[in-house]
Structure 1
Amino acid sequence: MRDHEPLIDELLGRFRQEIGADLEKYANHVHRVFETCVMRDTEPANRHKYAIAAVFHDIGIWTARTIDYLPPSLEQAEHYLNTTQGGAGAAEIAAMIYWHHKIRPYHGAFPVTVETFRKADWTDVSLGLLTFGSDPQMLRRLRRKFPNAGFHWFLIRKISANFLRHPLNPLPMFKS
């Protein structure tokens, strides 16, 4: 576990203005998800992908000011990948972002990275109740190193407000 993944800090810095006062809570969530990914998948070539997906997976909450954040998050990731990497890795990272709230296991293209990312996000969002085999002691260390800082309460408030506006679609980001 590193202090901080430099690419994550660099990418989050690009959204400092949009994220505003929520930066610490989102940055810590991003780092926890990333670290859980690299604990589960030690393939060095995937580390960069996890860092990018972690930063962009929920970014649409702030850039588009919506809880229906998957489309704007995907747009932001695609823009970044197209402008910095000629689109390399875009399909894989898009799949990681699109399916990260899938309730059931993912079966499709890029199964290792998509499923690893899905499990890592669920582990963090569930506050470690779902571990998918991750070491609970390591998860506790991660939460101490990158504290919640109100991230889950933030999500509850956003989802509750969305429920009042869209009672038939309160969780548009969830996939079965």
Structure 2
Amino acid sequence: MAVDAITERPLAVVDQLLAQYQPQIGDIFPGYRNHVYRMVHLCLACANYSTDEVEKIQIAGVFHDIGLWTAQTLDYLPPSAQVAADYLRSIGKADWVDEVCAMIELHHAVRPRATSHSRLVENFRRADIADFSLGLFAMGLPRGKISALKATYPNQGFHWFLLKRGLTWTLKHPLNPLPMFRW
């Protein structure tokens, strides 16, 4: 898929769901939205997906870090997965819960994990690492695509927000400074 096709692909599910959280997310909303857009587009660049898989990627993208705001914690993976599970059940897609929650709960796994949903989980993990590292760790994704997405959807302070939130957490929890990582 060409870079232009990736950056121009509309993400209606992302926009619809994320808008509901804008008041909670506050000033960093544009930065989080752009992070979600970049990582969803990077995940979509990993493979050809079915319509359902594209929707699952978008849903996981919206909810993957949402616990930062809904639960006000840096240990946000379980609350993020719970919000996603509640949403999926509310729209009659309870059969998607395991897969979408695995995408969320394992997106900070240091190494690939063998799951029954390996392709989506692994591609989602790779996309988040590529974006979170600002392309330093491209995770096999073309650097040109990463650069194009960064230019199209700028950071807008999201990484600075994460750094500040992480430092605050570490001062309060020095024995558990990185609770979101899955070793």
TM range (shorter): over 0.9
Structure 1 runs of 4+ aligned residues shifted over 3 Å read: none
Whole-Å separation in 2 of the counterparts to 1:69 and 1:165? 16
Offset of residue 3 of structure 1? 5.1
Aligned to 2:61: 54
Aligned residues: 176
Aligned to 1:27: 33
1:118 to 97, 119, 125: 125
Aligned runs of 1:44-123 on 2, under 5 Å?
Answer: 44-45=50-51, 46-123=53-130
Q: Are 1:29 and 1:146, in contact at CA under 8 Å, matched by a contact in 2?
A: yes
The DSSP-based 3-state class of the residue aligned with 1:114 is: helix
Whole-Å separation in 2 of the counterparts to 1:7 and 1:129? 28
- 1:28-61 Cα offsets, whole Å, 9 max, x none, are 0000010000000211332111100000000000
Offset of residue 67 of structure 1? 0.8
Whole-Å separation in 2 of the counterparts to 1:109 and 1:22? 34
- 1:56-93 Cα offsets, whole Å, 9 max, x none, are 00000011111111111011101100001241311000
TM-score (norm: length of structure 2): 0.93
Where structure 2 has 5 or more consecutive residues not aligned to the other structure, the ranges are 1-5
1:17 to 20, 23, 34: 23
The DSSP-based 3-state class of the residue aligned with 1:89 is: helix
Where structure 1 has 5 or more consecutive residues not aligned to the other structure, the ranges are none
Aligned to 1:37: 43
Whole-Å separation in 2 of the counterparts to 1:106 and 1:117? 12
Whole-Å separation in 1 of the counterparts to 2:80 and 2:14? 15
